[in-house]
Structure 1
Amino acid sequence: MRVVFAGTPAPAVPSLRTLIDSGRHEVLAVVTRPDTVAGRGRRAVRSEVGRVADEHGIEVLTPQSPRDPEFVARLTELAPDCCPVVAYGALIPQPVLDIPVHGWVNLHFSLLPAWRGAAPVQAAIAAGDEITGASTFRLEAGLDTGPVYGVVTETVRPTDTAGDLLDRLAGAGATLLTSTLDALEDGIVNAVPQSADGVSYAPKITVDAARIDWSLPAHVVDRHIRSVTPAPGAWTMIGDLRVKVGPVTATEETLEPGEIGVRKKALLIGTGSSAVQLGVVQPPGKKAMAATDWARGARLDEKAGAR
């Protein structure tokens, strides 16, 4: 099958590499978000997907919008049979969805219709889901509402961060996406409409939303922190410092919500139930470090509290 792949961040890379290595599907071009400007030299930085395409000599299309006439004309000229898409980062208008014969097949990291939207993995962890997965579905104008071709399931482990879980889903999802394209080419798969029951949404997580609410029970605080690790990263104010906080461990000690307990071998913060022990923290302008090391060096004032 002749395909144009759309994707941008690292979780899309396994799918692109699997398609390239499949020996069955020809990747005509890659669509990715425009280069960003970063660093002291303000250099243009290619997306993760764009870099892989460059490595393989594949044409890279970086429209500001999928509506751009030049992009629409080029995609029409390429005449792909299908456009697989993984975390591209922009809505595809209907006229562009209609260009490939088999449409756009999206790999989404949830068991649809659960957790439609931008942050399904984070939402699954925050909600305490024990099982999640990935789905391939035909993209349509609605938000992740299209009919589903196939799914894979994945257990959410008790210590999973969003990064851990997304890595596993990206690998399993790559195989699912390629198998879906195989089946489409062979004419042996039919998309099944999503159920009207069990619909939930996972909006993009802002930095403000990643702030820790210490009044919540310890297990909810734990899920919240893991759900936003590594990005955007959970944070709290300790005194006048805004500190990033890595995954925590529940304890049997009791402290008031936000109360700090500096122990010889542990840094504790109270929640709405039992206190939690901090593992890694990152103070402003510094690298992440063990919470106990930071507490000693910062001469942490227990009265400051976390908020």
Structure 2
Amino acid sequence: MTTVSFSKFSDLALDENLHRALEKMNFIEPTPIQQQTIEQLLLGRDVLGCAQTGTGKTGAFGIPLIQFLLTNPDKKALILAPTRELADQINRTLQQMAFFSYDLKIALIIGGASQGQQVRALTQGARIVVATPGRLIDLLGQRKISLGNVGVLVLDEVDRMLDMGFAPQLQQIVPHLPAERQCMLFSATFPPEISKIAESYLRNPVRVKVGETNTAADTIEQKMIQTQQDSKQHLLLKELPSMPGKMIVFVRTQHGTERLAKVVRAAGYRADRLHGGRTQVQRKRALDNFRKGEVQILVATDIAGRGIDIDDIEVVINYDMPKTHEDYIHRIGRTGRYGRKGVA
């Protein structure tokens, strides 16, 4: 159990530029996961953190990571995430945290985007690498990246990495890192396989568990409407006028996502779709437009169930049911974030 001794970010002995960035981001008081992990990480401890999505995990590892790099100018940090969307979200948050730390450059290493640009970012001295495992292994194989001076390793949403079959890639990547490093592992759920990974990669970690990790946040009101398969589309269109805010509608297949997005648009709604069959540029544009409010309804497969950290999503609709309880928790966790109310 960790002891809690800071109640405001201004209490922490952080670099002045990091304090300025946190103020600009309106980071005043820590969330529970931040309160229980940040001081331990600042002391150099390894951490195994288990918390629901939307609890501030990126801040929990991002703040100590940036502080470490500012005080160790010869070191780098590597953050691995399961999906391009989550990697991009982490990159955005860290860019804000490093806003006044002009020498801290970040490279986003993900599939579906220009490898040349990514290599350029690395050669121009990026000290934070946010990556998905596949593209990172490509660059390691081509000797375009060296991980020899990585002082901090972050594995985010490890449960999702395992679901997506990335365990062999992790085993390929980790030997490229120095044995002397700090490691942070975060997961929303805690299946037994994660204990094995923790034993392999973490040294005497501080274990932090915040809230019930396999249950929905209290801020989410859950409803169920009974219907037949062939009536779902009609029922959805009937319900939409009563839901004016931003919304994600989850569909099982790429084809189903395309079809439903077309139906919703034809009914006069600003809608777009997000699934693995679209290019990285298309996926990014859809998310950016959704974030800015130019798109109200995002029809998505489970690829969007992880890592989309948009504060003002008011409704999540499970048009098709998810495969597992964990997927359900992750899907509806797109709403009711950071204490706001939401409906699923």
Q: Into which bin does the TM-score normalised by the smaller protein fall?
A: 0.3 to 0.5
> Structure 2 length normalisation: TM-score?
0.30
* Larger proportion of strand: 1
- Larger radius of gyration, structure 1 or 2? 1
> Structure 1 length normalisation: TM-score?
0.32
Higher relative contact order (CA 8 A, sep 6+): 2
* Larger proportion of helix: 2
